[in-house]
């Protein structure tokens, strides 16, 4: 690895720490209803995470047992919004992923998650990899070993096609039908 790569990694990590520290005092718990394969959480929580890999925001111990090929997310629900308790949980993350058994969180492997605010009229914003992803209710399904490609077919030259062309609307419809047919539990 180069010095420049190490520097970028350090400052990227530092940027996450600074932004996280800036946002911590603004965390307010909301009543959530989170359904997952083996259960449901109804109650106040400050946040929930879904992860496929062990690296979340540059931290590699948030999901220490992550596996890309198991067909499951790791769901983490942080039930506390107390700043001191969140900092304590963060120190457990940094010190080897010891947060996974802490009673202030729920740590589960799951294939499907449905998240919604527990009270009508409450707003529950979803952050997808650092960007606003819409408001709950939302359902997340891990489609094991599944990949879908999207392309602007208007920009692809006609001579680039080697097989019959599938209209993107049909691909989208097939995808939605496939997700709807998935069982709630594996």
What does the block give as tokens for 7? 């520097």
> Of 22, 40, 131, 164, which residue is the catalytic one?
131
Which contiguous run of DSSP H or E holds residue 144? Answer: none
Dihedral sign of CA atoms 87, 88, 92, 98 in order? negative
- In the chain the first and final C-alpha atoms are separated, in Å, by 41
| Separation between Cα atoms, residue 138 and residue 40, nearest integer Å | 15
What does the block give as tokens for 24? 């911590």
| Separation between Cα atoms, residue 168 and residue 129, nearest integer Å | 25
131 as an active site residue: the answer is yes
Question: Is residue 87 within 8 Å of 81, Cβ to Cβ?
Answer: no
What does the block give as tokens for 90? 């963060």
Active-site residue list: 131
């Amino acid at each position: 690895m180069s010095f420049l790569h190490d520097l970028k990694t350090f400052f990227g990590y530092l940027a996450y720490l600074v932004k996280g520290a800036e946002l911590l005092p603004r965390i307010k718990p909301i009543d959530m209803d989170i359904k997952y394969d083996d259960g449901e959480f109804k109650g106040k929580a400050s946040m929930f995470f879904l992860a496929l890999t062990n690296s979340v925001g540059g931290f590699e111990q948030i999901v220490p047992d992550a596996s890309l090929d198991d067909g499951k997310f790791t769901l983490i629900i942080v039930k506390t919004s107390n700043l001191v308790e969140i900092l304590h949980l963060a120190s457990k993350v940094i010190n080897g992923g010891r947060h996974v058994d802490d009673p202030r969180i729920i740590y589960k492997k799951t294939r499907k998650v449905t998240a919604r605010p527990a009270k009508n009229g409450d707003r529950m914003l979803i952050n997808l990899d650092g960007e606003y992803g819409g408001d709950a209710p939302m359902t997340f399904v891990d489609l094991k070993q599944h990949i879908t490609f999207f392309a602007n077919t208007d920009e692809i030259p006609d001579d680039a096609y080697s097989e019959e062309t599938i209209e993107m609307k049909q691909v989208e419809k097939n995808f939605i039908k496939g997700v709807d047919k998935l069982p709630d539990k594996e």
